[in-house]
Amino acid sequence: MSLSATTPVTGAPARPFLRHLERAGLYLALSVAAFLSVFPFLWMLVSATNSSGEIIRGKLGLGDQFWINLDNFMTQVDLPLVMWNSAKVAVLSTVLTIAVSSLAGYGFEMFRSKMRERLYSLVLLTLMVPFAALMIPLFMMIGQAGLINTHIAILLPSIASAFIIFYFRQATKAFPTELRDAARVDGLKEWQIFLFIYVPVMRSTYAAAFVIVFMTSWNNYLWPLIVLQSNETKTITLVVSALASAYYPDFGVVMIGTILATLPTLIVFFVMQRQFVAGMLGSVK
């Protein structure tokens, strides 16, 4: 997250010109990178103020259509319901995923057993299987369980996340085993050690995992598209994408939708930014 790592280390002050040139090149490269990553976002904001026709013609300036677009969006979409659906699914799946997967990661690292590494490899192996290959069998399972059109259909498959298990196991390597010993001497049972010592000590790891899982879950598209077919259950990603794939899409309205769909993830990220960075660097120092 910090640029200092890429700043060239220039020891001798003897060559100021070369040093400036180097600096200039660096800033140029960074500016291009920043522009490339920010431009689509800016375009989205600008386009929300223009009419669909203007957007198609490639207008880049601010327009005066924002309130009209917003009004159209609100008449086409039941925003509170859609947001509620998205939020419910994202929050529940984040909380459940992190609860289950952090327990698994902790267990894999803390408890010795003959089967441990083999079982763990098996878990990691599931990372290699593309979701597209799982889709059909998963759909059939969910169908047989009668869960089509329910949010449980989205929650269930997401709860045990191989990636988050892996992430927690890696982070747990830095958790001092003597802390666990001290807690045992202090009279804590295993679940109490997890709850009262491990979780608070690893809170920035949890924060980073929360950001990652929440964003993935909020933006999740393919699987909800398959299992959520009734309008009452649809999430905002589904609704916005439906707007965009209409026969005559109104791109101004679509842009309003994408802004509204992006907003919660932005808020989550900015609220948890510091913890997120700390978590990526490791909780225990």
Partner 1 sequence: MADVRLQAVRKTFGVLDVIKGVDLDIRAGEFVVFVGPSGCGKSTLLRMIAGLEDISEGTLTIGGQTMNDVDPSQRGIAMVFQSYALYPHMTVRENMGFALRFAGMDKQEIARRVQSAARILELEPLLERKPKALSGGQRQRVAIGRAIVRNPKVFLFDEPLSNLDAELRVHMRVEIARLHKELKTTVIYVTHDQVEAMTLADKIVVLRAGQVEQVGAPLDLYDDPANLFVAGFIGAPRINVFTGQVTARLPGAAEVRLDGFAERRLVIPLTGEAPAEGTEIRLGIRPEHLTEGGAESLPIEIDMFEHLGGETFAYGRSRSGETIIVSTRNGRHLKAGQVLAAGFDASKALLFDAAGLRIR
Kindly list the residues in this chain that would bind partner 1 in the complex (CB under 8 A). Answer: 176, 178-179, 181-188, 197, 200-201, 203, 284
Tokens 């919660």 -> residue: 264
Nearer to partner 1, 17 or 111 (CB): 111
**CB nearer partner 1, residue 20 or residue 189:** 189
User: C-beta of 204: minimal distance to partner 1 in Å?
Assistant: 11
Q: Which is nearer to partner 1, 53 or 176 (CB)?
A: 176
| The residue to which tokens 């089967």 are assigned | 115
Cα gap 159→99, rounded to integer Å: 9
Least separation in angstroms between CB 279 and partner 1: 15
Torsion (CA) 101, 102, 106, 108 in degrees, nearest 10: 20
Angle CA 190–193–199, to nearest 5: 130
Q: How far is the CB of 106 from partner 1 (least distance, A)?
A: 16
* Nearest distance from C-beta of residue 199 to partner 1, angstroms: 9
Minimum distance between the CB of residue 185 and partner 1, rounded to whole angstroms? 5
Provide the minimum distance between the beta carbon of 203 and partner 1 in the complex, in angstroms, as a whole number. 8
User: Shortest distance, CB of residue 201 to partner 1, whole angstroms?
Assistant: 6
185 φψ region: left (φ > 0), alpha (ψ -120 to 50), beta (else): alpha
CA 97, CA 77: separation in Å to the nearest integer? 29
Burial level of 178, CB count in 10 A (0-12/13-18/19+)? exposed
Q: What is residue 143's three-state secondary structure?
A: helix
Q: Which is nearer to partner 1, 110 or 179 (CB)?
A: 179
* CA-based torsion, 281, 283, 284, 285: positive or negative: positive
- Residue 117 or 186 with smaller CB distance to partner 1: 186
Beta strands in 57-114 (DSSP E): none
Residues contacting residue 154 through CB under 8 Å, at least 6 positions apart: 89, 93, 220, 223, 224, 227, 228
Q: How many residues does the chain have?
A: 285
The smaller minimum CB distance to partner 1, of residues 53 and 200, is found at 200
Which residue's CB is nearer to partner 1, number 124 or number 174?
A: 174
